[in-house]
């Protein structure tokens, strides 16, 4: 062996943590402090596009009405229905069927008001006038010609201003709209072009000619 000293390991390595250094202070949370709830973003209000029937054919409406004696009462009830419509429309929802669910709620709400406030005989059935169509017969004590014509100008679930008649003031709600099949069928029967087309399309059975040979 040589007289040279062997290398010795130092007492402290350069990578050793200094245990004398103060520990980092973490602020203590008070026990009474409650954790903050995450902020939830409100969902967007679903708004369905209103599609109006575009056709030259006559339409018919399924209608409910509330009949009152004064214009002030009619305006008040109309505003109640409009406010209810607005509340439903402002409710956030991702349901694509929300608009149809709102229609059902509005009609039921309108029917309750009709049973309570209407002075028309139709109040017993929630103001239901059933289907109104052009040139339909007048209903004595309920429907006049002018009222019928004004109702046919209304749009679905759009509450117009009260319609005045000899019976009073009518708040009208159109619940459904479709093409009037009764009148369309009558027009088609009267149209000579339709008769010619129907005659052309109808099958005709002809007797065979006397000289024609019939295969056995």
pLDDT tens-digit map of 93-146: 888 889 899 999 999 999 999 999 999 999 999 999 999 998 888 888 889 999
Biggest alpha carbon–alpha carbon distance for the chain = 146
Of the candidates 81, 103, 101, the residue with the CA atom closest to the CA atom of residue 160: 81
Cα-atom radius of gyration of the chain, to the nearest Å?
Answer: 40
59-183, what's its fold?
A: Chitinase A; domain 3 (3.10.50)
Of the candidates 134, 5, 132, 158, the residue with the CA atom closest to the CA atom of residue 57: 134
**Model confidence pLDDT, tens digit, residues 175-193:** 999 888 776 566 555 556 6
**Model confidence pLDDT, tens digit, residues 144-177:** 999 999 999 999 999 999 999 999 999 999 999 9
- The dihedral over CA atoms of 26, 30, 34, 37, expressed in degrees to the nearest 10, equals -30
Asked whether the whole model's pTM tops 0.85, one would answer: no
Of the candidates 66, 169, 45, the residue with the CA atom closest to the CA atom of residue 109: 66
Using DSSP's 3-state secondary structure scheme, residue 90 falls into helix
């Amino acid at each position: 062996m040589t007289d040279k000293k062997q290398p010795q390991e130092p007492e402290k390595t350069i990578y050793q943590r200094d245990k004398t250094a103060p520990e980092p202070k973490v602020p203590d949370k008070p026990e009474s402090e409650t954790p903050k709830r995450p902020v939830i973003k409100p969902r967007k209000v679903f708004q369905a596009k209103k599609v109006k029937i575009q056709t030259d054919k006559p339409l018919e409406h399924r209608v409910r009405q509330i009949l009152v004696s004064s214009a002030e009462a009619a305006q008040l009830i109309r505003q109640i229905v409009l406010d209810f419509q607005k509340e439903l429309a402002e409710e956030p929802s991702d349901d694509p069927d929300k608009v149809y669910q709102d229609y059902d709620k509005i009609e039921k709400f309108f029917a309750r008001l009709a049973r309570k406030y209407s002075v028309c005989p139709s109040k017993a059935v929630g103001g239901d006038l059933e289907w109104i169509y052009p040139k339909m017969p007048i209903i004595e004590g309920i429907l006049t010609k002018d009222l019928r014509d004004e109702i046919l100008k209304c749009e679905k679930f759009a509450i117009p201003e009260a319609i005045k008649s000899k019976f009073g003031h009518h708040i009208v709600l159109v619940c459904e709209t479709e093409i009037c099949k009764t009148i369309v069928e009558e027009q088609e029967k009267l149209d000579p072009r339709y008769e010619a087309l129907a005659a052309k399309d109808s099958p005709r059975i002809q007797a065979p000619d006397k000289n024609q040979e019939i295969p056995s």
